Amino acid sequence: MSITFDADSVSVESVGRNSQVRVTVDGKGSDIAEALHIDDRLHDLEPHEIVNHVGAGKLLETMDEAEISEWLAGANVDPNDFLSAIGEETVLKWLNNE
């Protein structure tokens, strides 16, 4: 993998095996994350962690009914886990367009 982003400073040190190096970069986390592919940004995150961080209401507001239906129909999604993470109250508000 290779990424390019703006950094304030960079340091490189030898790790000592197989010509590997350790690179330390000082920069904005958002700039670094933006340079990564979405799969790398979401690696090891559970759906409820994303919902909890973004906020269930905000997440639902950004999606329309067709997008949610398509996503929930996907093979890698457990609708019960998704709805539990969001919470019944938020889902009902969204369904009632409140």
pLDDT for 27: 87
Q: How far apart are the C-alpha atoms of 70 and 60, rounded to whole Å?
A: 14
Residue 72 contacts residue 85 (beta carbons within 8 Å):
no
pLDDT for 2: 82
25-35 pLDDT tens trace = 898 888 888 88
38-81 pLDDT tens trace = 888 888 888 788 888 888 788 878 888 888 788 777 777 777 77
Q: How far apart are the C-alpha atoms of 12 and 64, rounded to whole Å?
A: 46
pTM for the full model?
A: 0.47
Q: Cα 4–32–76 angle (5° rounding)?
A: 110
